[in-house]
A and B are shown apart, each in its own frame.
Chain A
Amino acid sequence: MTFLTGWGRTAPTPARVIRPRSTGQVAELVGGAGGRGVAARGLGRSYGDAAQNAGGLVLDCTGLTGWTLDETTGTVTAAAGVGLHELLAGLVPRGWFLPVSPGTRHVTVGGAIAADVHGKNHHVDGSFGAHVRSLTLVTADGASRTLGPDDRLFWATVGGMGLTGVITEAVFRCVPIATSRMRVDVERTRDLDHTLETMTATDDRYRYTVAWIDLLARGARTGRSVLTRGDHAAPGELPRGADPLAYAPSARLAAPPWAPNGLLNPVTVRAFNEVWYRKARPRTGLVQRIAPFFHPLDAIDGWNRMYGSHGLVQYQFAVPFGGEGTLRRVVSRLSTDGVVSFLTVLKRFGPGTPGMLSFPLPGWTLALDIPAGWPGLAGLLREFDGWVAESGGRVYLAKDSRMSAASAAAMYPRLPEWRKVRDEVDPDGVFRSDLARRLAL
């Protein structure tokens, strides 16, 4: 038995972990899963308990490797265990880029589909699932099915958190790039309203946009942000002599194996925020590499350890346009309570996919990283859940580690429809995870 946690390092549970190497082996293992069922796991970047299965079987899908690129169409066929970092290393020098890249490149293709991940380009390109042309799914009966966007099961699987079966392969389209650099504009805003206004007015001019909120700014400055927006740079924008498609993410620094509890406290985080805000001088046409623009946190290996033994909770929610009041309420409450969130990131979402449990919806999404040991956190986030659900929003399942089943049901109105599809394909509940048990999915 191996104890597993999500990226937040909270609520560990033991499971038998096996690393299958082929779709056939996955099918065999699913057949012999046992009473506690089976869950698929990739690189363990889900913050909560989505890839844990207490007392049961967990398939470490990183053993499913190999991928190919059709250079004429930019179509990638990849095994589910291939990491986006590996794809980027192969794609970028050949002039292609992932259709969607989340905040870390250390997620697998299978995980990206199961969580229907989104990136800084959601307002333009949608989530990862929107670019998947087909996927191979091993279902509870041991069959291996190839599904396309015309199948209901496809859309129960995209965003379905691995609970319809094990994804073993996927085919998806990439986007052409002329360089491996980004042309970035940085702008600072005065307060939250200014942030929302600026993003609404200018987001459509950029393929990639994101706002970092200084949550510890109070009073009139509440919600002041740094907006970072960019596009893939053209060859002429690169420094003379630069290899246009060079891609070599810098060697990673490692966080210490242990960090004292309370390292990230109001004093240190306030100091960091102040420095970060001031450092972000308004600039236009800054040329940046892919890694620092898309995956700044990947520069520090195991940054989650900085939160000490209690771990961290990421609270990411989305509210539809018109629900800005909820956003203001949450930000102002966190700000007045002085809640330490090391990273507070705001994004504007475009239309969602037909994924029944997919997270993105047209509106806003805010993500907060909070130390799990923060006093009173359970009650505070429970209160937020209520506000979010009331405004027609939802909490991201791939990040969740503490929501109640009732909240999940209130936030995901298509849950009954998803359950119906799931029950047809897995009537005995072979696919299970701690997340599924906790949220009674």
Chain B
Amino acid sequence: MRNALGEVDTVLLLGGRSEIGLAIVERLRPRRVVLAMRGGDEPPVSAGAEAHVPAGTEVHVLEFDAARPETHAGVIEAAAGLVGDLDVIIPAFGVLGSQAVYDADPVAAAEAVAVNYGGHVSAGLAAARRLREQGHGTLVVLSSVAGVRVRRANFVYGSAKAGLDGFAQGLGDALYGSGARVMVVRPGFVIGRMTRGMTPAPMATTPAEVAAAVAAGLASGAEVVWVPGRLRVLFAVMRILPRAIWRRMPR
């Protein structure tokens, strides 16, 4: 159970190797964590790992495939079977991909969207069902500013995030009054494994900063968290920028 000071006991991380997801786990310091990840991957619990689970945490590992929505509800129930009530569920799986590749390979684009959006829909709904039954718990949805206004430079990724963001808001409204909550997180460009080799955009952030913002948001009961916070103001402007100008944005 989440306690009076907002500290959490259990976290389920769907996409157990996610750098941002693990940074959040590291920040929240739950007593028990379930890492749901592709079979065969080593759980990132060693000190040498790029992002890892803090020492002293009870770690469970479950097999999880984001591209197989029919398995998602089972994974969430299995996690609850291992650690009891789930205080925080973080679906942290996704692929960034390149717009050029998607332009050339529409099937690859559809597959990426199936993971980045479809996978989150099945996982999110299954998570919501569990949290609603519990009467408490937060689903942390990792959206992106890329979904707030989709840019031509990565519109396949951006459109999936736009869908996810809308889904998460709707789900949050649907859960209102149940004790369960959805917190939408909208980071800007995150410097990390997923964006290695790319030039950071202005106001770039890091997994640790995202994690700190998520922890603060959980403590305050925020519904939407922007990372960094000033992106909220920037995007209030970006959202109403005339399209003729928006499409000329360099990236």
Contacts and interface: CB of A to CB of B under 8 A. Distances in A.
Contacts of A8: 4
Interface residues of B, number: 19
A167 B224 CA distance: 44
Contacts, number: 75
A8 B134 CA distance: 22
A14 interface: yes
A372 B5 contact: yes
A378 B5 contact: yes
SS class, residues of chain A in contact with chain B: loop
Given A1-B177, A437-B84, A401 B135 contact: no
Contacts of A311: 4
Interface stretch (A74-82, A297-305, A402-410): A402-410
B1 interface: yes
Given A11-B2, A11-B3, A406-B31, 6 more contacts: A13-B135, A15-B135, A55-B133, A311-B4, A377-B5, A381-B5
A438 B136 contact: no
A405 B83 CA distance: 13
B183 to A, nearest CB: 16
A434 interface: yes
SS class, residues of chain B in contact with chain A: loop
A54 interface: yes
A393 interface: no
A15 B134 CA distance: 10
B134 A55 contact: yes
Interface string B98-136: 000000000000000000000000000000000011111
B178 interface: yes
A56 interface: yes
A3 interface: yes
B63 interface: no
Given A14-B178, A437-B84, A438-B9, A372 B4 contact: yes
Nearest to B136: A54
B136 A404 contact: no
B1 to A, nearest CB: 4
Sorted nearest first, the 9 A-B pairs with minimum C-beta distance are A55-B135, A10-B4, A401-B4, A54-B135, A438-B1, A402-B3, A14-B179, A378-B5, A54-B136
A15 to B, nearest CB: 7
B4 A313 contact: yes
B19 interface: no
Nearest to B179: A14
A13 B133 CA distance: 12
A133 interface: no
Interface residues of A, number: 32
Nearest to A433: B1
A12 to B, nearest CB: 8
A49 interface: yes
A377 B179 CA distance: 24
Nearest to A402: B3
A438 B31 CA distance: 10
A313 B179 CA distance: 21
A126 interface: no
A377 B7 CA distance: 11
B143 to A, nearest CB: 26
A260 to B, nearest CB: 17
B179 to A, nearest CB: 4
B32 to A, nearest CB: 10
B179 A438 contact: no
A48 interface: yes
Contacts of B84: 437, 440
A372 B4 CA distance: 7
Given A11-B2, A437-B85, A378 B7 contact: yes
Interface of A: 1, 3, 8, 10-15, 35-36, 48-49, 54-56, 311, 313, 372, 377-378, 381, 401-406, 434, 437-438, 440
A377 B177 CA distance: 28
Nearest to B56: A406
Interface string B1-43: 1111111010000000000000000000001000000000000
B135 A404 contact: no
B3 A401 contact: yes
Contacts of A437: 1, 84-85
Given A3-B179, A14-B178, A437-B85, A56 B135 contact: yes
Q: Which of B85, B132, B177 has the most CB of A within 10 A?
A: B85
Contacts of A54: 1, 85, 134-136, 179
Interface in B160-208: 177-179
A402 B135 contact: no
Given A1-B177, A1-B178, A55-B179, A13 B136 contact: yes
B133 A36 contact: yes
Nearest to B5: A378
A431 to B, nearest CB: 16
Interface in B42-81: none
A132 to B, nearest CB: 30
A263 to B, nearest CB: 19
Given A1-B177, A3-B179, A55-B135, A313 B5 contact: yes
A12 B177 CA distance: 11
B135 A1 contact: yes
A377 B57 CA distance: 21
B134 to A, nearest CB: 5
A404 B31 contact: yes
B7 A402 contact: yes
A311 B219 CA distance: 13
A404 B7 CA distance: 10
Contact of B5 (A14, A15, A402): A402
Given A1-B178, A54-B134, A405 B9 contact: yes
A405 B31 contact: yes
A440 B32 CA distance: 12
A406 B56 CA distance: 11
Nearest to A3: B179
B136 A55 contact: yes
A12 B31 CA distance: 21
